Structure 1
Amino acid sequence: MPENPRGIGPLSWRTLVDEALARRKEERMTQREHAALAGVSIPTIAAFERGEHTLTLAKAFDILRVVGLLDEPAEGGAQDRFVRESFDRWRTLTNDLPSDSPARFPNGSYRFDYCLEGDLKSFALTEFEHILNNAVTRHTGWPVFMMLTREDLAPREVGGAIEVWLPPEGDGIRRNILSDPAHCDFWRAVPSGRLFLIRGYQEDGQETFPPASVFDTTLPVWRMGEALLHAERLAGLMRKDPESQITVRFRALYTGLTGRLLRNWANPISELMFEGRPARSDEVLLETEVAAVDISSRLADILFPMVSAVYERFGVVGLTTNRIQAEVGRLLSSRMR
């Protein structure tokens, strides 16, 4: 073995893993929360904590980064840092709630984040809050990035961001109108055009079937579609001039899929009548990049590969753009006051 004149010893993988595990537990972070924050699967977190060497270096870095064990340049990954900060903020707000609280999404959740890139106007936080209010797209009764007016539920300025948290009823903090996972939203936005939202499943608040048993075929089209339309509208409100070209970088992370069955529940007249096997994968990460001005006109084409990837987790293949187009048509024609 060659001499080591620089005094750098070999990496002790087990020591590093043990420290990461200790830090996760000190922060009262579950494996599911760590996985979601790192953007990896729960089995990957479990393999890491067992000390397995089969992980890629990139995934190991993602896991170590969450617990502060990766020293890296500060300039890279502004959106990733924003997402981690937002997820940390959500964990802080929900940390003292019971583990089965709907606001902690014990059966899984979906998370959207997007950023706008291009020539954007600068706004103070108060101005930005008004812009966000005007950007809400009301195609459903509970749109993404919902802004309520009641004082205890209205958006707040926290740490240079506009923030909304809707906790469930009876937690002794504030009272939400509804108390199922689909209405316990947390979202956060900053004036640089970065947004984050996490929400539980509408399917998990029903009396006709138990939580964590069903995944609806149509809701991904409606929820991701509405989020992309929100990005399109916000880009229009934030661009410096009508000729400014704004790009939307959008991501969606669905977790808690394992064992769920694909069912056409929310919209019985939909053409999305697929039923596959129970999901064997717990999550799916979806990404797209699109010009903001193209979103409304190309929404079905944008959604098609992402919805297809969701269906594949349930063993369903053969989705056609025509079926997505039909559902997008219903979304675009729906208007809520």
Structure 2
Amino acid sequence: MPIQLSRQRLADLLIDPREDLDLEIKNWLDLRGDNDAKATFAKATLALANHGGGFILLGLTETDRGCVEAEGRPPTLDGYSQDVINGIIQNYADPAFHCAVHIVARQDEQLFPVVVVPGDHRSPIRARRAGPHGNIVENNAIYVRKPGPRSETPTSGQEWDALLRRSLANRRDEMLDQIRDLISGAVPAAAQPAGPARFDQWTEQCLARWEALIADLPPEAPERCPHGYYFVAYELIGDLRTIPPGQLPELLQRSVVRHTGWPPFWFPTRRGIEPYPIDGVVECWLGREADAGAFGQHDAAHSDFWRISPDGLAFLLRGYQEDGLENRPPHTLFDVTLPIWRIGEALLHAERLAGNLVDGPATVTFAVHYRGLAGRSLNGVNGRRLMFEGHVARQDAITERTTIEAASIGPNLPEIIHPLLAPLYALFEFFDLPMALVTEELAQMRRGNL
């Protein structure tokens, strides 16, 4: 039986969730009998679709103590089936689109519906009808996500520009995918910045800081990532804006790219696990002992350590998600798709942070390091990429880096990731990473098809 890692990615959404621009939290809406509830849900899906996609968690409510289950759990979750959800969208969305619906278990084994809203639309989605009595949803209205977060109609030229730019980008991406089916190209590398000393020093400092934080933990503590880890680091070169320290949290929250349930550089806001300023940078470590109560338990894949400097430097270290699978011992598997998704998200984070932190063009020096590879077998553990056992790594660690223009990341993501990750995959008995696999997986990631 294939190991359903996708279910684990969705379960990550239920770990200390917080509403943001690409995540909406709703209580137990009666989507069968309550027309106001249907309109409320439809408005959220329309806004997320125009935002570029996202997720809706049902059955939860936000409190001062964090996100908890809402009152009124129904006897069954039949009212949140794929047919019910997409029937509402068919009634309200023009053009209509399809949402995936999953019933996902939280760590306490309670089940909640998770709706994955796609965002790869080639034109803005409008409301084809009004809500009951003309309330909640307006006929022919177009909704977008705004800070707060809120789902409202665009009212400024900037909001309209962002919406239309996203639609045009999706058309461009579709055209590029068609071209990639015909030829295999490569994105030109940016000119190498003079001297990597600052970047290398930053990486070494971040590793030393993480090692100091885990020094007092037991040798087999999962927060130490005893079976291995990977890290990404990048440096932005350009005309950096001067950001007052008090504005950094909001800027970093806007820079999070969420295509999966556990995005890189996630910025939690719950007391006790929130990032903190230290030595002139923003730091977050989810492996602190005090955090165990927030998550119920720790594992290496959810004990992120990251640092971001207002000088344009970023670092993220994370353990292997494969080591947390129930039916396979740790340090045995290496998933064939996860590096593509994780590094893709990290590169998109660099692109977005550059847009928020740099005036004008920006160059990105990006490095990725994997450790704890020796003895692992390359496999498709999510059930979509079945592989024969036997591709085993003998080398334990590898580091690769690239330098690209920030503006080229979104349009050329497959062409950047393929040469960056091909040497990693080759460690598994010369496995030749197909360009088609990279392109297809990144398209799945961007559509939210977990």
Q: Calculate the TM-score normalised by the size of structure 1.
A: 0.72
Name the CA distance, whole Å, in 1 between partners of 2:220 and 2:283.
23
The answer (yes or no) to whether the contact 1:181–1:200 under 8 Å persists in 2 is: yes
Q: Secondary structure at the match of 2:353?
A: helix
Name the CA distance, whole Å, in 2 between partners of 1:172 and 1:155.
14
Give yes or no for the alignment of 1:325 onto 2:439: yes
Shift of 1:103: 0.9
Shift of 1:333: 1.3
Q: Secondary structure at the match of 1:119?
A: strand
After superposition, the Cα gap between the structure-2 partners of 1:173 and 1:217, relative to the gap in structure 1 and judged at 3 Å, is closer
In structure 2, the partner of 1:18 is none
Name the CA distance, whole Å, in 2 between partners of 1:172 and 1:330.
36
The answer (yes or no) to whether the contact 2:373–2:393 under 8 Å persists in 1 is: yes
Letter in 2 for 1:145: F
The answer (yes or no) to whether the contact 1:167–1:175 under 8 Å persists in 2 is: no
Letter in 1 for 2:411: S
Larger Rg: 2
Name the CA distance, whole Å, in 1 between partners of 2:410 and 2:285.
28
Name the CA distance, whole Å, in 2 between partners of 1:319 and 1:82.
30
Give yes or no for the alignment of 1:160 onto 2:280: yes
In structure 1, the partner of 2:231 is 111
The answer (yes or no) to whether the contact 2:275–2:282 under 8 Å persists in 1 is: yes
C-alpha RMSD of the superposition: 1.9
Give yes or no for the alignment of 1:291 onto 2:405: yes
- Structure 1: segments with no counterpart, 5+ residues: 1-74
In structure 2, the partner of 1:235 is 354
Name the CA distance, whole Å, in 1 between partners of 2:393 and 2:337.
16
Name the CA distance, whole Å, in 2 between partners of 1:231 and 1:159.
22
Shift of 1:176: 4.3
The answer (yes or no) to whether the contact 1:153–1:165 under 8 Å persists in 2 is: yes
Give yes or no for the alignment of 1:188 onto 2:307: yes
Query: 1:120-199 alignment to 2 at 5 Å?
Result: 120-167=240-287, 171=289, 175-177=293-295, 178-199=297-318
Letter in 1 for 2:314: L
Shift of 1:125: 2.3
What is the identity percentage for the equivalent residue pairs of Structure 1 and Structure 2?
39
In structure 2, the partner of 1:257 is 373
Query: 1:90-109 alignment to 2 at 5 Å?
Result: 90-109=210-229
After superposition, the Cα gap between the structure-2 partners of 1:76 and 1:263, relative to the gap in structure 1 and judged at 3 Å, is closer
In structure 2, the partner of 1:31 is none
Shift of 1:87: 1.3
Q: Secondary structure at the match of 2:266?
A: coil
Give yes or no for the alignment of 1:203 onto 2:322: yes
- Structure 2: segments with no counterpart, 5+ residues: 1-194
Q: Secondary structure at the match of 2:307?
A: strand
Shift of 1:76: 7.0
Query: 1:13-28 alignment to 2 at 5 Å?
Result: none
Q: Secondary structure at the match of 1:157?
A: strand
List 4+ stretches of structure 1 deviating above 2 A.
Answer: 171-176, 272-277, 316-320
Shift of 1:291: 0.7
Q: Which moved more, 1:327-336 or 1:226-235?
A: 327-336
Letter in 1 for 2:334: F
Name the CA distance, whole Å, in 2 between partners of 1:82 and 1:187.
12
Query: 1:18-57 alignment to 2 at 5 Å?
Result: none
Q: Calculate the TM-score normalised by the size of structure 2.
A: 0.54
Give yes or no for the alignment of 1:269 onto 2:379: no
Name the CA distance, whole Å, in 2 between partners of 1:172 and 1:232.
33
Name the CA distance, whole Å, in 2 between partners of 1:202 and 1:269.
17
